Chain A
Amino acid sequence: MRFSGTERIPATREQVWAFLTDPNAVAQCVPDVESLEVVDPTRFKAQVRAGIGPVRGKFGFDVAWQELTQPSRARMTAQGKTGGSAVTVDSAMDLSAASPGETDLAWSADVVVHGMIASVGARLLDGFAKKQTEQFFGCIRQKLTG
């Protein structure tokens, strides 16, 4: 599955960059994060409690920055698993200045799901991803506007 979108954020590119590439900051906006452990500047682990329809569980995610071209482009991969399900995400972000105080964030994510989350939750995945994404960027906008 591929998801993508563009968000306009009322902050400078540097501010957005700094927020998004700080695991502790961005984790505040990832829905349902229970814990976060920064392994090194490019890798962190997150425990996320997720429920898609009847499939519920605590996903352990290994997240790694694959590309960091400050302040315009970043690529991140994440592998998550829980009993009976697994998910891999390959996500890219391109930041461009829309106006002096505004940044356009073009993002995309290739998501591959395996196991129960796919076989049972497939029909709910699109809606789930849309909701999570909206919450995530809504949170970023709020944090950076505030």
Chain B
Amino acid sequence: MATTTTEQLGGYGQSVKRKEDPRFLRGKGTYIDDIKLPGMLYMDIVRSPFAHAKITNITTQPALDIPGVLAVITGKDLDAAGLAWMPTLMSDRQMVLPVDTVMYQMQEVAAVIADSRYAAADGAAAVEVDYEPLEVVVDPFKALQDDAPILRPDREIKSNRIFHWEAGDSAATDKAFAEADVVVEQDMYIPRIHVASIETCGCIAQVDEVSGKLTVWMTTQAPHAIRTVFSLVSGIPETKIRVISPDIGGGFGGKVPVYPGYVIAVVAALTTGKPVKWIEDRSENLQADSFARDYHMKARLAATQDGTIKALDVVTIADHGAFDAAANPSKFPAGLFSIATGSYDLETAHVEVDGVYTNKPPGGVAYRCSFRVTEAVHMIERMVDILADEIGADAAELRFKNFIQPDQFPYKSPTGWEYDSGNYPAALQKALDQIGYQDLLREQQEKRERGELMGIGISTFTEIVGAGPSNTFDILGIKMFDSAEIRIHPTGSAIVRIGVQTQGQGHETTFAQIVADELGLPVDNIIVEHGDTDTAPYGLGTYASRSTPTAGAATAMAARKIRAKAKELAAHLLEVSADDLEWVDHKFQVKGSPGSSKSMAEIAFAAYTNHPQGMEAGLEAVSYYDPPNLTFPFGAYICVVDIDRGTGMVKIRRFLAIDDCGTVINPMIVEGQIHGGLAMGMAPALLEEISYDEHGNIRGGTFMDYLLPTAMETPAWETGRTVTPSPHHPFGAKGVGESATVGAPPAIVNAVVDALSHLGVRHIDIPITPWKVYKILEEHGAAE
């Protein structure tokens, strides 16, 4: 029998073309707004122009007078049903609709239900709301002052401090700093940014008038968790709630939270008895949905004179907006920020974060990052460069000197993480060689002598993804395992259902490839389904690069369960003992007798037509995988910039990303993920920021002011790879979706600062806009 190769099957390491692309490229995807149900009503939302105000009156009649408008729902209506507030994932609560006070600009104030989207919008414009403005707090530092108004009087603790969180060893860190030869310190601000996914948020809620079953099609990254929370809040049993997350046009963490619009649409469907659709417009999405970052950090590094880093200390004020609706695992109010020691072998560290309420929409979305890892990586990668500047060391040499060495894994970090694997020197060396670091240093020197500004920036980041082990990771008590269910059909094709949900990551392809390789079935014969709570096994969803580390592992484990049964079937078919069989070239063959073998297709047919007495028919398995540890992808990025002294414009001339995400399932998809991640890393470094004026007005509420990168701004990325498999993952994968978003910003900032370092510049907060650079050049007499 001919050998079946991984390449033929489309297994691990094969650049199989994405199975989902034909429908997307033809415009045949099914997004929420593509779904139209008979008799469907439409909802639009009245939003607050004020950042903080009392609602003194709401007049709904002018809206109800508009033809087609059927109902207006206010906070008082919801309050009567006990639904004016909802729980957040972080043990806080959030207004669905306010009863008497608005907490941020664009907050939902009322909802209009109508028989067309136009009538709903007209109705929303006609609702008259009287406000009495209250003192606005936009600065988290001011929010912590004694004379600041208490923004959340509904809470028992009368303070704007939401939480105080620490990790590491405070006393040992203080001691290390007291004894250090060199201490560098830097304040850094990582501004508020928005995921700005192409598809905005929305839903359709439908109640079956016979069974009473509620079906919600919604833009969510975690349909099962949503179903459970809906059930707990409403008292409706989970059997009567179905959440379907169809094609999703980008999530990036922004579709993890439960937004008030979803809840109001469900209430509207329950009260009208008709399906109700709600789709945000772009401004609502950009101005009101949860935000990411907004970390004010004060960081210090202690080191010896020769550049051995001893200790790290970081004090952070985190602006969470009006409600702590961050999307972190419940026991991690500051996410995984304690990964802050990065790729470096420090003796000790101490990090602390205080979460603060302000009059802004909720913050804390893990924007393409594993819960505050972006902030941590930005900080440590900047601090290493600042130390290099302080002691006159080369940024690459200083990193080599302080890296955790390959033989130190598994490595226990000073803040308590156990890094599973890594080879940081190899990745950096590869990057330096590939980009020609020494040549670039020479070129920079020559250019500097001519007065030209060129910078080289390095980022050697470590990620922490794949949340997570059930002993520490849960969301409202639900452990963060994930799942897969595989059913092999008699003719050797398969359906795979997974507990995670794709928003563009390519799961329909990569999860099929796992099964293809593990079971020896062609990838074309395998379909992957996800996102429907009535059919998919329970899972916690896709975010924080957790799909492959958790559900990917579950898929491999389920496939291996099937393979175990298949072995018994093969033994029956070949009339030998199962002990005499081995899995070779994706089929079972009799040891020492390559001619006697059975393929999975043959075995699958037998499972339904010729299974032995005493064995159950069929060939399927389910696995719920509880990862023993997180995974730690890493990379070495190098950015080369040129700066225009006349305009302050930063041009990324080259950007090389060497990534290590362990075993690669599909190199093409990994490269695509890295390209997308790099663009989303470059954007906050150079372009994106959401800020507020003193009245709490959002600045950057449209794409005219909130600058997303287009093809014009995006450079040609160079990529490369090292492979250090995860020792605890079934096939060694680590996750890759967010590495580039996390790793790219400090490489870019380090390059810009390097270009200006001879002028005495040591740090620039992102986004590094031309205006910011030009002002620095002017201050140093270097502008043209």
Closest 7 CB pairs of A and B: A115-B49, A119-B701, A118-B697, A83-B125, A114-B49, A86-B49, A119-B698
A98 CB within 8 Å of chain B:
no
Residues of chain B from 683 to 738 with CB closer than 8 A to chain A in the complex: 693, 695-702, 704-705
A-B contact pairs, 8 of them (CB 8 A): A88-B133, A112-B695, A113-B695, A113-B697, A115-B697, A119-B287, A120-B704, A122-B697
Residues of B within 8 A of A84 (CB): 47, 49, 125
**Which residue in chain A gives the minimum CB-CB distance to B125?**
A83
Residues of A within 8 A of B556 (CB): none
Cα-based distance from A122 to B704 in the complex (angstroms)? 12
B124 CB within 8 Å of chain A:
yes
Given contacts A83-B124, A119-B105, 17 further A-B contacts (CB under 8 A): A113-B695, A114-B50, A114-B133, A114-B695, A114-B697, A115-B50, A115-B105, A115-B106, A115-B697, A116-B283, A117-B49, A118-B49, A118-B693, A119-B697, A119-B699, A120-B704, A123-B705
- Chain B at the A interface: mostly helix, strand, loop or mixed? loop
Which residue in B46, B51, B283, B705 is a CB contact (below 8 Å) of A114? B51
Residues of A within 8 A of B287 (CB): 119
B131 CB within 8 Å of chain A:
yes
B40 CB within 8 Å of chain A:
no
A13 CB within 8 Å of chain B:
no
Cα-based distance from A81 to B700 in the complex (angstroms)? 22
Cα-based distance from A113 to B700 in the complex (angstroms)? 15
**Which residue in chain A gives the minimum CB-CB distance to B51?**
A114
Residues of chain B from 85 to 124 with CB closer than 8 A to chain A in the complex: 105-106, 124
Residues of B within 8 A of A83 (CB): 46, 124-127
Cα-based distance from A123 to B131 in the complex (angstroms)? 25
A85 CB within 8 Å of chain B:
yes
**Which residue in chain B gives the minimum CB-CB distance to A54?**
B702
Residues of B within 8 A of A88 (CB): 133
B699 touches A116 (CB 8 A): no
Residues of B within 8 A of A113 (CB): 695, 697
Cα-based distance from A57 to B450 in the complex (angstroms)? 56
A81 touches B283 (CB 8 A): no
B50 touches A120 (CB 8 A): no
A116 touches B695 (CB 8 A): no
Q: Kindly provide the distance from the CB of B701 to the nearest chain A CB, expressed in whole angstroms.
A: 4
Residues of chain B from 38 to 54 with CB closer than 8 A to chain A in the complex: 46-51
A122 touches B699 (CB 8 A): yes
Cα-based distance from A113 to B51 in the complex (angstroms)? 11
Cα-based distance from A84 to B121 in the complex (angstroms)? 12
Residues of B within 8 A of A115 (CB): 48-50, 105-106, 697
Q: Kindly provide the distance from the CB of A51 to the nearest chain B CB, expressed in whole angstroms.
A: 15
Residues of chain A from 10 to 48 with CB closer than 8 A to chain B in the complex: none
Residues of B within 8 A of A112 (CB): 695
**Which residue in chain A gives the minimum CB-CB distance to B126?**
A83
Residues of chain A from 31 to 90 with CB closer than 8 A to chain B in the complex: 57, 81, 83-86, 88
Q: Kindly provide the distance from the CB of A39 to the nearest chain B CB, expressed in whole angstroms.
A: 16
**Which residue in chain A gives the minimum CB-CB distance to B121?**
A83
Residues of B within 8 A of A85 (CB): 49
A81 touches B49 (CB 8 A): yes
Chain B 26-69 against A: per-residue CB contact (8 Å), 1 yes, 0 no?
A: 00000000000000000000111111000000000000000000
**Which residue in chain A gives the minimum CB-CB distance to B48?**
A115
Residues of A within 8 A of B704 (CB): 120
Residues of chain A from 98 to 138 with CB closer than 8 A to chain B in the complex: 112-120, 122-123
**Which residue in chain B gives the minimum CB-CB distance to A117?**
B49
Given A112-B695, A113-B697, A114-B697: A120 and B702 interface contact (C-beta under 8 Å): yes
The listed residue with most B CB atoms (<10 A of its CB), out of A85, A88, A114, is A114
**Which residue in chain A gives the minimum CB-CB distance to B701?**
A119
Residues of B within 8 A of A119 (CB): 105, 287, 697-702
Q: Kindly provide the distance from the CB of A27 to the nearest chain B CB, expressed in whole angstroms.
A: 23
Q: Kindly provide the distance from the CB of A3 to the nearest chain B CB, expressed in whole angstroms.
A: 16
Cα-based distance from A118 to B51 in the complex (angstroms)? 12
Cα-based distance from A112 to B50 in the complex (angstroms)? 11
Q: Kindly provide the distance from the CB of B66 to the nearest chain A CB, expressed in whole angstroms.
A: 13
Given A83-B126, A84-B47: A120 and B701 interface contact (C-beta under 8 Å): yes
Cα-based distance from A83 to B122 in the complex (angstroms)? 10
Residues of A within 8 A of B105 (CB): 114-115, 119
Given A83-B124, A83-B125, A86-B50: A120 and B699 interface contact (C-beta under 8 Å): no
Residues of A within 8 A of B699 (CB): 119, 122
**Which residue in chain B gives the minimum CB-CB distance to A81?**
B49
Cα-based distance from A103 to B761 in the complex (angstroms)? 55
The listed residue with most A CB atoms (<10 A of its CB), out of B695, B697, B699, B705, is B697
Residues of A within 8 A of B698 (CB): 119
Residues of A within 8 A of B49 (CB): 81, 84-86, 114-118
Given A83-B124, A85-B49, A86-B49: A118 and B283 interface contact (C-beta under 8 Å): no
Residues of A within 8 A of B125 (CB): 57, 83-84
Residues of chain B from 650 to 705 with CB closer than 8 A to chain A in the complex: 693, 695-702, 704-705
The listed residue with most B CB atoms (<10 A of its CB), out of A86, A115, A119, A122, is A119
Cα-based distance from A119 to B127 in the complex (angstroms)? 21
Cα-based distance from A114 to B52 in the complex (angstroms)? 11
